[in-house]
Structure 1
């Protein structure tokens, strides 16, 4: 099924729909979001071009005699008066209008992300003034409490620098060489992800035996989702929130609020966990959920185009180009670093992007998340 276009007024929508029926073109119409506007749908992809030709002609002159299809006079009168009576045999789905575009949950998420961004920035500024050498790692208390997991060495480093203040980051190199206590901390295994372990293969990485899911096993389950709410820079949060405003509203307006929240949680938890397994715990950002929402909308457009998700093909193509472009750079980075040609690390959560898109598309196939009464 393909959306052909929109017309003003129910009478015009019915007139054109009846004409299409006379021409043997299957379709339907439904109320659009705008007041007194109706979407025209074509059932068969093979008939879209023919229908588009007639639609252009109809827009030029709706009163053209070619479109004056003879219907029962009572039915025509009913349409003129706005009655719900329709000629028998013509299926016209009357879907409920979307919830007005207030999108409270999307707005709340954007607000939370913004507040956490400024809070983290405030803590970073305070961290720079501390005497402790821990400031050289730029890990704020907020980040430590909300990231997916805490590296096993971090508590040891905090304690060490409280006892041995360090004024200059260059002193870290001397510590690695001359301080047995610091060297022992550095050699403690940390989970850094399969990506870094594969980079070192065939040499066995000490980190392969590192403890995993430390904080989650201690009951701090909020960490499954909270990395999504943190952002590292202004452009990072700006673009993520713009995408969330574009995509999140479309979904929130068409399904129940708790269903929208459930989709967000599922995508976030799965994409975060996949990213943790691939790269370790030091990742942040909402982009895994963003690609998941895009994947969900794409699948709903294919499964049930009458639900009216207005995300155009160009936007989806742009997102796919971005995701696979970043993946291509990651592959290049891996090859360069694996061969020892150059250090070219990619600090982009590609695993979260791809996993999020896949999970979102899979959720979009589930009828449970179909548009219904709000």
Structure 2
């Protein structure tokens, strides 16, 4: 609440306050030694009131300021609304999402084009590659390095020569290579959930940045740990999970949600993958993606609170 100025005459002060009320501006009059100080509750309207006050003082009897009846009608409506609205017995905690509706629901399906494009491209790649092994000729330009089958038990590749030669897309394209229909379905379900939440809440550029950094970083880490024979969006998925988890917990007004059941499921699945019980898994991609996602989530929370 800020002061807009002082009016000496009491009647004029009330007249000006009535005028402001009809303009949707809430003000308070305080009597002092120099007259009546006009206090404006909404600081965003302060400049407007300060600009209007000199015009009022120059001609307080101007018919445009004769709005006492309209102002009193507004006050009566407010009093009736207050009486009609029951007051809760005790204060309740604020909802997890300020609007009550998750961002992905508010924008609708077509409001998240990048998330849908990631799913569509992954499906197209799956149809093209037919879930063949990573050493298949169909995948020669999609894996992080071109893989050759030496014998039944061994594969070979020439380091990252192709990337050094300019094929930089190989750092990201393994994300779109899936080994089975279940592998594809599992990852796309999470992209549909997590990716759409982020894009709807933080924008397409934020999702693009996260996918690019998480994908390239997790793929490179998996290559360093276990060679080029891997694929899938899981590193990105775990990163997006970490991001949404922190945003939903510490910045709920951003419009992202993460149920306790989903968080528990992802945590258990991460641990199960580490055991090797479900076969060869790109655990380094999972781990690096998750750590980076949590880090970006922390930054996202800080930026969101700073803007508020």
Q: For the superposition of Structure 1 and Structure 2, which TM-score range results when normalised by the shorter chain?
A: 0.5 to 0.7
Equivalent residue number for residue 274 of structure 1: 221
5 Å matches for 1:51-70? none
Cα distance in 2 for partners of 1:322, 1:306 equals: 28
Larger Rg: 2
Equivalent residue number for residue 225 of structure 1: 172
Q: For the structure 1 residues 264 and 369, does the alpha-carbon distance in structure 2 shift closer, same or farther, using more than 3 Å as the test?
A: farther
Pair 1:150-2:150 in alignment: no
Equivalent residue number for residue 281 of structure 2: 348
Report how far residue 352 of structure 1 moved: 0.7
Pair 1:301-2:248 in alignment: yes
**Preserved CA contact (<8 Å) 2:134 2:230:** no
Cα distance in 2 for partners of 1:347, 1:325 equals: 12
Cα distance in 2 for partners of 1:216, 1:346 equals: 29
Cα distance in 2 for partners of 1:25, 1:33 equals: 18
Equivalent residue number for residue 56 of structure 1: none
**Preserved CA contact (<8 Å) 1:296 1:362:** yes
5 Å matches for 1:254-333? 254-329=201-276
TM-score by length of 1: 0.52
CA RMSD of aligned residues (A): 3.5
Runs of at least 5 residues in structure 1 that lack an aligned partner in the other structure = 1-10, 35-94, 125-136, 158-171, 177-185, 192-210, 331-344
Pair 1:31-2:99 in alignment: yes
Equivalent residue number for residue 214 of structure 1: 161
TM-score by length of 2: 0.62
Q: Work out the number of aligned pairs and report it.
A: 221
**Preserved CA contact (<8 Å) 1:150 1:214:** no
Pair 1:243-2:190 in alignment: yes
Report how far residue 213 of structure 1 moved: 2.0
Report how far residue 252 of structure 1 moved: 1.2
Q: For the structure 1 residues 227 and 138, does the alpha-carbon distance in structure 2 shift closer, same or farther, using more than 3 Å as the test?
A: closer
Cα distance in 2 for partners of 1:354, 1:216 equals: 23
Equivalent residue number for residue 357 of structure 1: 290
**Preserved CA contact (<8 Å) 1:101 1:253:** no
Higher mean Cα deviation, 101-110 or 23-32? 23-32
**Preserved CA contact (<8 Å) 1:254 1:371:** no
Runs of at least 5 residues in structure 2 that lack an aligned partner in the other structure = 1-80
Report how far residue 146 of structure 1 moved: 0.8
Cα distance in 2 for partners of 1:213, 1:100 equals: 41
Cα distance in 2 for partners of 1:235, 1:263 equals: 24
Q: Where does structure 1 differ by over 6 angstroms across 4 or more consecutive aligned residues?
A: none
Q: For the structure 1 residues 238 and 116, does the alpha-carbon distance in structure 2 shift closer, same or farther, using more than 3 Å as the test?
A: same
Cα distance in 1 for partners of 2:226, 2:305 equals: 36
Pair 1:140-2:136 in alignment: yes
Equivalent residue number for residue 120 of structure 1: 129
